[in-house]
Chain A
Amino acid sequence: MTRPAEALPTQEMLINMGPQHPSTHGVLRVLLRTDGEVVVNARPDVGYLHRALEKIGERVTYAQFMPFTDRLDYLASMNCNCAYAWAVEKLAGIEVPERAEYIRVIVSELNRISSHLIAFGSFTADMGAFTPFLYSIRERERVNDLFEDLCGNRLTYNFARIGGVSADLPPGFLEKTKEFLDYFEPKIDEYNKLISYNKIFVHRLAKVAVITAEDAIAYGLTGPNLRGSGVRFDLRRDEPYSVYPKLDFDVCVGSGERGALGDCFDRYMVRINEMRESVKILRQAIAQIPEGPVAAKVPRVFKPPVGEAYFRSECPRGETGFYLISDGTGNPSRLKIRTGSFVTMNIFEKVTVGLMIADIVAVIGSFDIILPEIDR
C-alpha cells in the first residue's frame, strides 16, 4: 500500500534573505517562508537605511535641502533634484526660465538612461549573466563624464536650484551629448541580441510575478512597473510639466511579448525601450534649447508664502512626489517624500506567493527598487 504524499510530515523553512545579500539592491531584508524551493510567504523588512531625511528637511532651509535629494535615489540624482526644485517653485510660484527647463529635461533624461543602465546591468548580473553589467557600466561612465563636465560630480550632482539650475552648460556639452547618443543607440540593440532575447533569460522572466493592470493601479505602482502591466500612464505625458509638452516621444508599455502581460520580462523590456525614448527626447531637447538665463531671481533668504504644494515627477523608478507645507519661515514645516520604490514594496508580498527562491531575485530586480528611496 502506498502512503499518500500528504501524510509525510514536512516543515516550512524560514530563510532570512538578509540585509547583506548580493541581489537585494541594497539593504533589503526579506523573510522567506518556503516549502522546499517554493515560496509560501515573502515579507520585506525595510528601514535599514533610514536616515530621517524628512526630519532633516524640517531643520534646514529650502536651498540647503537640495543636496539631500541627491541621496534620495542616488542613481537618478538629477531627477530627484529637479523634482524637489519644481515642488518648491510650485509652492512659491516662481517662474523658471525656459533654458533652465530645457537643461533640467536634458539632465533628467540623461540620468534616466544611466539609471536604467544600472537597472539592466544589475538585473542581468543577478540572473547570472555577468558580462552585460560591465557593458552598461562602460556606457554609464560616459554619462558620468558628461555630468562631471557639467556640475563637477559623478554621482550626487546637486545641480538644480530653486528657480533654475546652478550653472550654464559648459562649451561643447551639447556636442558631446550628441556624440554619446550616437554611440549609445546601437548599443541597445547589442544588449537585446546578447541577453534580452536569450532563451534562458526569457525563460527565467516570462510569466513570473504577473501583475494585472487592476492590481498595479490598486497597489499604487508607478513608472516602469505600472507600464509593464500594460497601463499607458506616464506623468510626462498625462500631467505634463516643464517643457515635456514640446517634446515628442512614445510611452513604452509592456506587451506580453514573451509570456504574460505584466510579468518580469515586460517590466524589463519597458526599461530597455525607455532608454530608446530618452535618446529621442534628448535629441529633440538639444535641438530646441534656447538661449537665455539659467536661473530666476530668488531672494537670498528664501521664505515662501504660507501654504502647501505637492508636485510629482516621473523618475526612473516611478513617481517621486514632494509634498511641502510652508509656514512662512525659511525652513519647511513638513517635507514629505513619496517615492516609487517604497510603494512598489506593497505588492511584493502578494506577487511572490508560489514563486521559487530564484524568482524572488528576479522579482526584486524587475521592480528596480533602490533602498535609499524606500527608507529615506
Chain B
Amino acid sequence: MESFALSLVKAVPALSGVPMWTVTLTAMVLTAAILLVFALTFGGLGSYVLRKVAGDIQVRIGPNRVGPYGLLQFLADGAKLILKEDIIPAKADRFLFILAPYLVFVGSFAAFVVLPFGVGLIASDLNIGVYYVMAVTSLVVVGILMAGWASNNKWALLGGMRAAAQIISYEIPVGMAIMPAVLIAGSLSLQDIVRSQGGLLGVFGWNLFHNPFTFFSFILYFTAAQAETNQTPFDLPEAESELVSGYNVEYSGIRYAFFFLAEFGDMFVVAALATACFLGGWHVPFFHAEALPAFWGNLLSLGAFLFKAFALVLVMMWVRWTLPRLRVDQLMRMSWKYLVPLTFVNLLGVSLWLLLFKGKGIPQMIASLVG
C-alpha cells in the first residue's frame, strides 16, 4: 500500500502538498472499495451463473426473463432482499443475531486482500499470505455459530454446530494441501508462489504438473475447499431439505444476502487460492506478462487469473449439482480418516521429492534434459 501511495503521489504532482497519511488512507479505502465492488458483483453474477448452470444440467432454462438472457436477475433479487421486512425473532439474542452476518462476510472478504489478481495487482502482498488467508477464513466459523445460537431456533442451532464442526475439521486438509505449493516456492507470500510458477515452460510451469504429489494435492485441496465453502456434497449446515436452511433459517432480507454473498466470496477465495498455488496464478501461457508495459501486463494477467478462477468456480458448481450430500458423521469421517492422512502423506511425498530432486519438478527435469 505504501508503494502504491508513493506511486500515486509521483503520478499526480498536485498531491505532493497533501500529508502522506491522507494519501495512503485514500489509497486503502479506494482499494477496499474496488475489492468490495468486485466481491459483490461476483456474488451477484455468480448466483446468476449458478442458476443458469443448474438450469442447463437440469434440462431446463435458468432465469431468462429479467433483462437479456436473465442477466439482471441478481439485481432484481438484490432489490427484493433489500426491500424485505427485517424480521428478528422475538427471543433471539439481538446483538449476536445482527452481528453474525457481518462477521461471516468479513471472514470471507478479508481474504481478498492477499489474492494476486495480476502482476502488480494485489491489495497487499503480505509475506505471510497463505497463513493469513487460513487465519482469517476461520472467522466464518464464529459468525455461523453466532447465527445458529442467536436465532433461538433448534434447527438453526443444529446447523450452526454442524457448520462449526465441518469448517474446523476441513481447515487442516486445506492447509496441508496448500503446503506443497509453499514448499516449492519457499515462501508464504502468494505473489512469490505465483512467480515461482512462471518461466518459459508456459503451462507446464504450473505447480499442478510439478510432480504427482502436487497433482493429488490440487485434487485434495479442491475437495477440502468445497467443504470449507459449504457446497454440496458438504452443504449439511444449510441442507435445504433437512434443516430447512440450517443456520440461515431465521434470516431474511439483507441479512440473508450477506450470508449468501459471503458464500460466493468464499467460493472465489478458494478458487483464487487454487489458481494461485496450483494453476500458475496470473501467468499467461507463452507470454511473459511481467515483461510487458505495466498497463497491458496487468490487464492480461488479470484476465488470465480471473479466467482460471472462474473456471474452477464452474467446476465447483458442476460438482454441486451432481452429488448428493454427506451425512454429518460421514463428513467428519471423510475429513479425519481420509483427507487428513492423505494430505499428510502428500506433504511427505512432496518434501521427499524436493529433497531428492533438488526442487525440480518433472517438466523442469525434462526441459533440462532436452535443452
Contacts and interface: CB of A to CB of B under 8 A. Distances in A.
- Chains A and B are bound partners: yes
Given A138-B59, A358-B328, A128 B244 contact: no
Contacts of B321: 130-131
B25 interface: no
A97 to B, nearest CB: 41
Given A124-B324, A200-B325, A356-B328, A134 B60 contact: yes
Interface in A103-141: 124-131, 134-135, 138
B276 interface: no
A37 B330 CA distance: 13
B158 A22 contact: no
Given A21-B244, A22-B241, A358-B328, A130 B54 contact: yes
Nearest to A18: B244
Contacts of A200: 233, 323-326, 330
Interface in B313-357: 321-330
Contact of B244 (A22, A124, A127, A356): A22
A128 B58 contact: no
Indicate the size class of the contact surface on chain B.
20 to 34
Nearest to A14: B154
Given A130-B58, A134-B58, A198 B323 contact: yes
B240 A358 contact: no
B325 A127 contact: yes
A202 to B, nearest CB: 10
A136 to B, nearest CB: 11
B305 to A, nearest CB: 31
A357 B158 contact: yes
B268 interface: no
Given A134-B58, A134-B60, A358-B236, A129 B324 contact: yes
Given A15-B155, A357-B158, A129 B323 contact: yes
A135 B323 contact: no
Contacts of A134: 58-60
Contacts of B174: none
Interface in B58-86: 58-60
A131 B325 contact: no
A23 B322 contact: no
A13 interface: yes
Interface string B209-239: 0000000000000000000000011011001
B184 to A, nearest CB: 32
B241 A125 contact: yes
B244 A198 contact: no
A361 B236 CA distance: 13
Contacts of B324: 124, 127-129, 195, 198, 200-201, 204
B242 A357 contact: yes
Given A22-B244, A37-B158, A134-B59, A128 B235 contact: yes
B57 interface: yes
A361 B58 contact: no
Nearest to B245: A22
A95 to B, nearest CB: 46
Interface of B: 54, 57-60, 154-155, 158, 162, 232-233, 235-236, 239-244, 321-330
Given A37-B158, A37-B328, A134-B58, 12 more contacts: A13-B154, A15-B154, A37-B329, A131-B58, A138-B59, A198-B323, A200-B323, A203-B326, A356-B327, A357-B158, A357-B243, A361-B241
A-B pairs, top 10 by smallest CB distance, nearest first, are: A128-B325, A134-B58, A129-B324, A127-B324, A128-B324, A23-B241, A358-B327, A126-B241, A22-B241, A15-B154
